[in-house]
Amino acid sequence: MTYAIEMQGVTKRFGPLTANSNVAFSVGTGEIHALVGENGAGKTTLMNVLFGLHQPDEGTIRINGETVVMDSPRTAIARGLGMVHQHFKLVPSLTVAENIFLGMEITRNGLIDHKAQSAKVRELSEAFGLHVDPDRRVSELSVGIEQRVEILKVLARGASIVILDEPTAVLTPQESRDLFRILRGFTQKGMTVVFISHHLSEVMEVSDMVTVLRDGKVVGTKATKALSEDELVRMMVGRDVNFARRARRRSEGSPVLTLREICARDDRGLPTLRDISFEVRSGEIVGIVGVDGNGQTELAEVISGLRRPSFGEIVLAGQSVQAADPLTIREAGLAHVPGDRLRRGVDASASIASNILMGRQHKAPFAARGLIRWPYVREQAGKLIRQFDIRASGHKAVVKTLSGGNMQKVVLAREFSQQTPFLLVDQPTRGVDIGAMEGIHDEIMRQRASGAAILLISVQLDEILTLADRILVMFAGRIAGELDPEKTTEDEIGFLMAGRAAAEAKAAS
Amino acid sequence: MTTSADETRAKTRGLAAARLPAWTEGLLGQLLAIGLSLAGGAVIILLIGENPLHVFGTLLRGAFGSSERIAGSLLQATPIIICGVAACIALRGGLFNIGVEGQLYVGGFAAAWVGFSFSLPPVIHLLVAMAAAVVAGGLWVLIPAFFRARYGTNEVVSTILGNYVAVLFTSYLTISVFKRPGGWSETDPIAITARLPQLVEYSRLNAGLFIGIVLAVGLQLFLKHTGAGYSMSAMGSNLKFAEYGGVRIRRNIFLILMVSGAVGGLAGGVETLGVHHRFMEGFAPGFGFDGVIAALLANGSPIGMIGTALFFGALRAGSLLMEVETNASREIITVIQAFIILCVSAQILVRRRTGQRGERRWRF
Amino acid sequence: MEVLEKIFNLALIAATLRTTAPILLVSLGGSFTTKAGIFNIGLEGQMLVGAFFAVLGSIWTGSALGGLAIGVSASVVMAAVFSLLVVTLRANEVVVGLALNILAGGLTISLTKAIFGTRGSIVSGDIVGLPPIDIPMIDYLGRIGRVLSGYTPLVYFAFIMVFVVWLILYRTKLGLYIRVTGEKPEAAEALGIPTARMQHIASLICGVLAGLAGAHLSLGYITMFAENMSSGRGFMAVAVLIFSNGDPLKVLLGCLLFGFSDAASLRLQTFGFSSYLVLMVPYLVTLFVLFALTYRQRPRVIRETLESLSLMRRAGQNGA
C-alpha cells in the first residue's frame, strides 16, 4: 500500500497551548479518510500544518513517499495538495470561471481570455460531475454550489490530494449527499480525499478510514467498516457519554420571552430566520444548538433589537418588542452576552470600570441628574471583579490587556449584575480556557437558580447538554426540533442539526 | 539569539515605560512630529532661497515679540479653538465634520446680519446674534447629518462640498444683497450693542477667547462626567459596542453632527461680532480647517486641542510678520501644519509595529 | 423658451465636453483607488499640484509636453506619499488625504510667491498651453462635426480613457487583482496576490490621471495657475466615485452631469444671474445626486406577508 500523506511526530504549539502533540497521520492513496474529533481537538491545526499554513515545531511530512518541508501553501499546491476551507474565499462579484482562475489567468494579447477560462472550467466540471455554470456570478450561487467552485479551484490547480475542512457544516443533507458522490468519484480516479468532520453519521457513510483526534493527540486510526458509531463516540469524547449530570426540571414559571412566527432577513435581504416560535420561562435554561450559520446569530440579533424581524411578534416580560431598539428592549428586561465579544461585548480600549458602566450610564445609582457617579461605578467594578473572579490589576485595567476568559467575565459581570428577568447568552465560552469555562457555567446556573429566564446559544454541544433544561435545534433558520436533554442522544441532536426531521432522527438513533 | 535580543529590547522598553508616565509618550511623539515638520518646513524655506533660522526667528517674534503680538496670537487662536471644539465633538463621536469652515461662514454671516439689521438692547442683541450664528451653523449641516444618520451617506464628502457652497452663498449675500454702499465686498457694520467686548486696548482680542476655552473645558467635562458624554465617546471608540449597549446610534449621529455644526457656526459669529464687526467676503479663511487639524492632532481631546490651537494661532500671527519681513509667504505655515499631521499619522504606526498599541481612538 | 434655446445649443455641448474632461480624468484615476478599496479624499490636492507644476514645467521647458510631464510627476509624488502612509503605514485615509490637500494648497501658494513674487495667480506669456486638435475633414459632417473638433488633446484623451480604464479594470490581470484587493482581500491573499502592491499601483495610476486633470486645468483652455484653482473638483470626483463605485461608465455619466451643470451655469452667468449663485450650481448638483442616490440604495425592509409565511411553512414540511 502506498501512502499519499504520511505525517510523523507532528507537534504544534501556540504559546502555552499545544494544539497537536506527536501526531502520526497517514492516508493511503485513493482512500477517503475522515479526520474526526470534537471542537478544539486539533483537526484544523493539523491540516493547516499539512498545507503549509503553520510550521510544525517538530515532526516530518511525506507526500507520496517524499519528505517535504511545507513552508507555504505554494509548496503544498506544487506537491498536488489542495485545501477547501470551511469559510469560502470567493469573490462575489466575479464569475465562477474568474474565481477559479484567479491568480493563474489565461491571457491572450495581455487580456484575460474569458472564453478559454470558461471552456476549461466547463470541461473540468463535467469530468468530475460537478455541474457548475462557469459564467454565473458567485453572488448568485447557493452555498452548496459555492463549495463546488472551491473544489474546482483546487482541481484546476492540479490537486490529487484534496483536503476538506468541515465540508458539510454549511450544507443541506441533499447537498451533502451530492458532495459524497463527488468525493467517491475522486477516489475512482485515483485521487485521495481527507475530510474533517465531527458529524458521526457522515463519517460512517462516506469514509474508508477514520483517524480520531482528542486534545491534540491521535486516539487511533481504524477502518470505518470495523467501527460502530458507539465506538467512534467513545473514541472522540473519551468516555461513555453521560448526559444526566444534574437534575433538570420543567420550569413551572411564567413565560418571560415569547417568540411567535419570527422571520428575518440577512444583510443581503435573503431569508435567514423562518417562522421561529418558542418561549423561555423563568428559572429555565433553553439551549439553542446548531451548526454555525444556521440563523443563531440573527436570532440573537433579533431578540436584542440589533436586527428588525420582517415578520412576527416578540414579547419580553409582557411587552411587545419586535419593533423596539436595543435600549427599549434592555429597559424591558434583557441582559445580553453577545457572541462576538471583542467587536460587540466590550470597549477594548477602555477600563473595566468604564465597561461595567455601559447600559447604566443614565440610571441611578450609577448616575444622578445626568452625571455619572464615578466613585460608585469604581466601587461596583471592584466588587464585580472580586465576585466574578476577574484576574486583573484593578478597575483601572484596560480590557484589551485581559485574557479572553477574563474579558468574557467582564461582559458577564456587567450583564448578570443587572438583575434582569431575561438573559440572552450567546457562545459564553468561545475561546475561553477550561478553568474560566467552569466559572462561567457556575455563574449561569446561579442566575437560573435565582429565577432568570435564560436563552443559551452555543455551537458547543457539550455546553448545551450540561446546562440546558430544554434543547432547541436550529437548522437553516428554522427550529428543527425540541429535545429533552435527559432523554436525547448526541446522534439525535446531530441528525436534527443536519436537517433531518425529528421523527426520522429518533428512528435513526 | 534573536530571542535574547528581543528580550533585551523588551526590557529596555519596559524600563522606559517604567520611568516615564504614559502621557509623556504621547507628548514626546507630538514634539517629535512638530520638530520633524519644522525641519520639513526649513527645507522648503531653503528651496525658496531664504534662511530658515531667520524666517523662524521672524515667526517667533511675530507671535510673541510684544504684548500686542501675544494678544494677536491669542486673537488668531480664538476661532481655531471654537472650530476645534466643533471638530472634537464629531471626532469623539466617531464622525468627521470637515465642513466646519462652511459652518463658520454661514454662522458669521447670520450673526452679522442680526448685528446690522436689528436694534436691540445691548446684551440681548449680542445673545440673539450669537444664537443666530448657532442656528445657522446647525442648519447648514442639517441635511448631511440627516442623510448620514438615516442612510449612512458619507459625511466627509457632503460636508466638504458644503464648504464651497457656504463661501459662495455668503459672498452672494454680501455683495448682491447686503453690500455697504461705497464699501468693498462687505456688509454694514454691526451695531455696538451686538459686539463682543474687547479684552485689551491695543488689540481686537475679545471675549470670544473665553467662549472657546469654556466650550472646550465644558466638552471635556461633558465627555467624562455625563451619561450622554459617555454614550458619545463609546460610539467613537466602538460603535457596535455602543449600539449593543443601548445607545441610540442614529439619533446620536444626527445630534452630534448638528451640535458640531452649531458650534462651527458660533465660531463664525464670534469672529464677526468680536473682530471684524461686519461680514466681509473671505473674512476668516482656513480657520475651520485649522480647527479640524488641531482636533485631529489632539486626538479629539478638547483640552489638548486648546494647546494645538494656541500653537496654530501663534503660527498664524507670526506668519503675518514673516510675510512682511521675509520673502516667504504666510502659507508656509499651512505646509508645516500639513507636515505635522503627516508625521503624527505615520508615527502612530511605529508604536503599533513594536506591539504597543496606542490608546488612540482613530487610526491616523 | 427663447432663453432656453439660447442656453441649450451646440456651443453648450462643446462647453460641456470641455468642462467634463478634467473631472472625468481625475474620477477615472479615482476608479483605480476606489476599486482597490481606498477612499481617496486626496484627489483635490493631487490635481492642484498637477496644475501648478504643469505651469511651472511649461515655463521651464518651453513646451506643453514638458509641462504635462512635470505636472504629472508632481502629482504622482503626492500619490506615492498618500499610499505610503495609507497602505504601508496603515494611517487613516481621511486624515492623510485631508493633510495632503492642505499641503497642496499651502505649497502651491508659497512656491508661487517665492518663484514669481506674486500672490494669487501665475499669468505669463511664457506658459505654453496645449494646442487644440483640428480633426481633418470633419467639416464635411457639418455642425455636428465641428462640435467634435478643436479640443485640446486631453479632452479626447479623457473620453478615450473611459474605455481604456474599463478595459484595464475588467479585462486585464492587473485590473482583476485590483478589484479583488478591494472587494475581498483575504481571497486575494490566499491565492498569493500581493494586495499592498496592488493598492500602491492603483494609487500611482490615480496620481497620473489626477496630474493630467490638473494639467488640463492650467494648460488647457486658460493658460494660467490660480490659487486653489481645482476649486473642489477633486471632491466632486470623490462624490462621483461614491455613487458610481468606480465603474467607468457610471463615472462617465456622473461626470457628464457635472460637466453639463458647470457649462450651463457658466452660460447662465451671461444672462445676468449673480456669478456667486451660478458657481454654486455644480456643488449643489453633486450634493443632490449624492443624497438622492444613497437614498435609493438604502437597504429595503422586507415585510413578510402571511401568505409567504404559510408558503414557507409548507416548503419546510416538504423539505424535511
CA distance C210 to chain B (A): 18
Burial of A263 per CB tally in 10 Å (0-12, 13-18, 19+): buried
Residue B343: the pLDDT is 86
Which positions in chain A touch C305 (Cβ < 8 Å)? 311
Out of A91, A105, A111, closest to residue C183 by CB? A91
Inform me whether the C-beta atom of residue A327 falls under 8 Å from chain B C-beta atoms.
yes
User: Are the Cβ atoms of B345 and C294 closer than 8 angstroms?
Assistant: no
Q: Kindly list the distances between the CA atom of residue C138 and the CA atoms of A471, C145, C169, in Å, as whole numbers in the listed order.
A: 80, 5, 32
CA distance A91 to chain C (A): 6
Residue B362: the pLDDT is 35
Cα radius of gyration rounded to whole Å, chain C:
23
Written as one letter, the residue type at A139 is S
Query: CA B233 to CA B364: how far, in whole Å?
Result: 17
DSSP code, position B276: I
Query: CA C285 to CA C257: how far, in whole Å?
Result: 8
Percent of chain C whose predicted confidence (pLDDT) is above 70: 86
Residue indicated by cell numbers 479594470? C169
Out of C103, C109, C242, closest to residue B157 by CB? C242
Q: What is the dihedral of CA C177, C182, C188, C189, to 10 degrees?
A: 130
3-state per-residue secondary structure call for A43-88 = HHHHHHHHCCCCCCCEEEEEECCEECCCCCHHHHHHCCEEEECCCC
Query: CA C320 to CA C318: how far, in whole Å?
Result: 6
Q: Which value does ipTM take for this structure? A: 0.88
Confidence of residue C317 (pLDDT cuts 50, 70, 90): low
**pLDDT tens per residue, range B167-218:** 999 999 998 888 888 777 889 999 999 999 998 888 899 999 999 999 999 9
User: Are the Cβ atoms of A304 and B244 closer than 8 angstroms?
Assistant: yes
CA distance A291 to chain C (A): 17
Strands A58-63, A66-67: pairing kind: antiparallel
Q: Is C167 left (phi over 0), alpha (psi -120 to 50) or beta?
A: alpha
Q: Estimate to the nearest angstrom the gap between the alpha carbon of A62 and the chain centroid.
A: 31
Out of C95, C105, C242, closest to residue B364 by CB? C95
Confidence of residue B290 (pLDDT cuts 50, 70, 90): very high
Q: Are A485 and A491 in contact (CB under 8 A)?
A: no
Tell me which chain C residue has its CA closest to the CA of residue A157.
C191
**pLDDT tens per residue, range B12-33:** 333 333 344 445 555 676 677 7
Three-state DSSP state, B144: helix
Residue A302: the pLDDT is 95
Q: Quick one: CA dihedral B246, B250, B252, B256, positive or negative? A: positive
Which positions in chain A touch C193 (Cβ < 8 Å)? 102-103
DSSP characters for B243-268? Answer: HHTT--HHHHHHHHHHHHHHHHHHHH
Distance from the first to the final alpha carbon of chain C: 69
Nearest to A123 by CA among A141, A106, A110: A106
**pLDDT tens per residue, range A293-330:** 788 989 999 999 999 998 899 999 999 998 899 999 99
Query: CA A416 to CA A451: how far, in whole Å?
Result: 12
Predicted confidence (pLDDT) at residue C299 exceeds the cutoff of 70: no
CA distance C165 to chain A (A): 13
Which positions in chain B touch A357 (Cβ < 8 Å)? 230
User: Are the Cβ atoms of B227 and A349 closer than 8 angstroms?
Assistant: no
**pLDDT tens per residue, range A353-410:** 999 999 999 988 999 998 999 999 999 999 999 998 888 888 999 998 888 888 999 9
Residues 347-376 of A with CB under 8 A from B: 347-350, 354, 357-359, 361-362, 367, 370-372, 374
What global pTM score does this model have? 0.86
User: Are the Cβ atoms of B238 and A346 closer than 8 angstroms?
Assistant: yes
**pLDDT tens per residue, range B327-339:** 888 888 899 889 9
Which positions in chain C touch A267 (Cβ < 8 Å)? 299
- Region of poorest pLDDT, from A23-37, A456-470, C99-113: A456-470
**pLDDT tens per residue, range A96-127:** 999 999 989 999 988 999 999 999 999 999 98
DSSP characters for B165-229? Answer: HHHHHHHHIIIIISBPTT-SSBBPPPPGGGSPPBSSTTS--BTHHHHHHHHHHHHHHHHHHBHHH
Q: Give the residue ranges of DSSP H helices in A307-394.
A: 326-332, 352-357, 374-387
Interface of A with C (CB under 8 A): 73-74, 89-94, 98, 102-103, 105, 107, 110-112, 261, 263, 265, 267, 269, 271, 274-275, 308, 310-312, 478, 480, 499-501
Query: CA B331 to CA C106: how far, in whole Å?
Result: 5
User: Are the Cβ atoms of C283 and B329 closer than 8 angstroms?
Assistant: no
Which positions in chain B touch C111 (Cβ < 8 Å)? 48
Neighbours of chain C (3+ CB pairs under 8 A): A, B
- Region of poorest pLDDT, from A44-58, A83-97, B165-179, B350-364: B350-364
Characterize C10-24 residue by residue with b for buried, 16 or more Cβ atoms within 10 angstroms of its Cβ, and e for exposed: eebebbbbbbbbbbb
With a CB cutoff of 8 Å and minimum separation 6, the contacts of C35 are C169, C175, C178, C179, C182, C202, C246
Inform me whether the C-beta atom of residue A401 falls under 8 Å from chain B C-beta atoms.
no
Residues 299-318 of A with CB under 8 A from B: 304, 306
Query: CA C211 to CA C154: how far, in whole Å?
Result: 11
Q: Kindly list the distances between the CA atom of residue B71 and the CA atoms of A277, B191, B211, C314, in Å, as whole numbers in the listed order.
A: 71, 24, 16, 80
Neighbours of chain B (3+ CB pairs under 8 A): A, C
Strands C121-122, C225-226: pairing kind: antiparallel
Out of A326, A370, A371, closest to residue B246 by CB? A326
User: Are the Cβ atoms of B169 and C111 closer than 8 angstroms?
Assistant: no
Query: CA A412 to CA A188: how far, in whole Å?
Result: 53
Which positions in chain A touch B225 (Cβ < 8 Å)? 371-372, 374
Q: Sheet containing A334-337: give its strands across.
A: A334-337, A422-426, A453-458, A285-289, A470-475, A478-483
Query: CA A410 to CA A31: how far, in whole Å?
Result: 48
Cell of B131: 444664537
CA distance C222 to chain B (A): 22
Confidence of residue B2 (pLDDT cuts 50, 70, 90): very low
CA distance C320 to chain B (A): 35
Pairs across A and B, CB distance < 8 A: 67
Query: Which is more confidently placed, B82 or C305?
Result: B82
Beta bridge partners of A221: A211
Query: CA C203 to CA C189: how far, in whole Å?
Result: 19
Mutation target for C interface from B154, B293, B336, B353: give the one with most C CBs within 10 A.
B154
Query: CA C179 to CA C187: how far, in whole Å?
Result: 11
Three-state DSSP state, C282: helix
User: Are the Cβ atoms of A269 and C176 closer than 8 angstroms?
Assistant: no
Let me know the angle formed at the C-alpha of B296 by B245 and B276, rounded to the nearest 5 degrees: 120
Average pLDDT of the residues of chain B: 86
Residue A247: the pLDDT is 60
Query: Which is more confidently placed, A144 or C63?
Result: C63
Query: CA B87 to CA B298: how far, in whole Å?
Result: 11
With a CB cutoff of 8 Å and minimum separation 6, the contacts of C177 are C188, C193, C198
Which positions in chain A touch C183 (Cβ < 8 Å)? 91-93
User: Are the Cβ atoms of C300 and A501 closer than 8 angstroms?
Assistant: no
